[in-house]
Structure 1
């Protein structure tokens, strides 16, 4: 994004205290400063910078991200979010989805929930590839990944390294999430 023509980063927001008031280039590990100071105040940054779009990457769950997304929308800023539930919000949060739809229309903004999964490989790609088909008898989308190469918080979130019994118990008790967004991918394909 830093090298892409037509894209200009105008602000950065984070909740991590260690990043606030630091230059974005420094936090990203670049060899240069970008002149963009990371803030914790979403509304102040949006009103000062007047961005065309916000790239939102905070949580997997719409109930957690709704206040943030609503605040951005009220500023008249379009939103692309990696919130997994936002890829098909009517499945798990129909009330919030309707409120967000109404809010986006009122402020003339677009809200897009997307990513690789959900948002492309296991749903949009499947829908696109089956679009010309008259009859579909079976769809099979398989995701394999080595969680051992991913960051530790992600490994813990999906239950990597647990026994089957531990995994089942932790999923049941909502201590871990497994693959957030799989239900949204299935619902999106079914609705297509």
Structure 2
């Protein structure tokens, strides 16, 4: 997608030693080499002085802080798909403030975006803007683990037993914030709401019949976990409750991604989207945010600080 928007790719950072030194074009399946190499040494790649780093390596601040810090001090802007960094002022205010300060000092920008930006925040905030009064906002969304690879499949506890899942979900203090919580926090910011409290409950999704997981390249037997559903609820001082049930699991044949939202008030309004290509909308949203990122002032940015999401013909 970056190449089709005429971006000049100068390098790539990879985790696997087997990919070190290989041509990026070969790694991403282009018909011919790109003439650009992949590096396992991030500092060696950042020495190329890229204007922008597109980062899709992890979901949570614990894994993202150091890579972001290194990019910032290398003088590069960053756009990421990290779910927590979409709006981390409430989940990790200390390190968010540090990244914001570093970015401002270095004159660069950090932004996290993705499918949530468009379908869980931007669209919903516009829908909220059509209501005269609002009591609650309820969302129900699902995405296919197989579209995002082995790392996310492990994060979604695919292939564990219900007992193992219960032990994992019971260790609440060790679990990072859910994707839904940070999305609702971003939605609250977009709607001008002040957060009062946030709660999360989680249920395992279990295979009713054997399901093949492409991400792990193995069959998940009946009775084992194929993912889970987080139910997040945010209360606000304005009395509006934000609620999101977000399911990430391995799909059975015929299941598709969905996005259903209801703004309950006067009037009650709804949007329903089925058969979404979430992995494409994730990357498409990132590309369409790049010109807005580059035009913004330095610092850690959130989407409520940017213009409305729209299609962009070029990267700017």
Higher percent of residues as helix: 1
1:8 alignment counterpart = 8
C-alpha displacement of 1:66: 1.0
2:205 alignment counterpart = none
1:95 alignment counterpart = 94
1:183 alignment counterpart = 181
C-alpha displacement of 1:75: 2.1
Please list every run of 5 or more consecutive structure 1 residues that lacks an aligned counterpart in the other structure.
none
Q: For 2:56 and 2:83, locate their aligned partners in 1 and report how far apart those are by CA, in whole Å.
A: 10
Q: For 1:10 and 1:148, locate their aligned partners in 2 and report how far apart those are by CA, in whole Å.
A: 29
1:73 alignment counterpart = 72
Q: For 1:146 and 1:154, locate their aligned partners in 2 and report how far apart those are by CA, in whole Å.
A: 10
Please list every run of 5 or more consecutive structure 2 residues that lacks an aligned counterpart in the other structure.
192-316
Q: For 1:18 and 1:38, locate their aligned partners in 2 and report how far apart those are by CA, in whole Å.
A: 10
TM-score by length of 2: 0.54
Higher percent of residues as strand: 2
Q: Which has the larger radius of gyration?
A: 2
C-alpha displacement of 1:161: 5.3
Q: Measured at CA, do residues 98 and 9 of structure 1 come closer, stay the same or move farther in structure 2, by a change above 3 Å?
A: same
Instruction: Tell me which of 167, 170, 177 is aligned to 1:169.
Output: 167
Partner SS, residue 38 of structure 2: coil
Measured on the aligned residues, the alpha-carbon RMSD in Å equals: 2.5
Q: For 1:150 and 1:68, locate their aligned partners in 2 and report how far apart those are by CA, in whole Å.
A: 20
TM-score by length of 1: 0.84
C-alpha displacement of 1:162: 5.0
C-alpha displacement of 1:155: 2.9
Whether contact under 8 Å (1:158, 1:178) holds in the other structure is no
Partner SS, residue 79 of structure 1: strand
C-alpha displacement of 1:138: 2.0
Whether contact under 8 Å (2:60, 2:176) holds in the other structure is no
2:26 alignment counterpart = 26
Q: Measured at CA, do residues 36 and 166 of structure 1 come closer, stay the same or move farther in structure 2, by a change above 3 Å?
A: same
Matched, 1:85 2:122: no
2:109 alignment counterpart = 110
Q: Name the structure, 1 or 2, with higher relative contact order (CA <8 Å, separation 6+).
A: 2
Q: For 1:68 and 1:150, locate their aligned partners in 2 and report how far apart those are by CA, in whole Å.
A: 20
Whether contact under 8 Å (1:157, 1:178) holds in the other structure is no
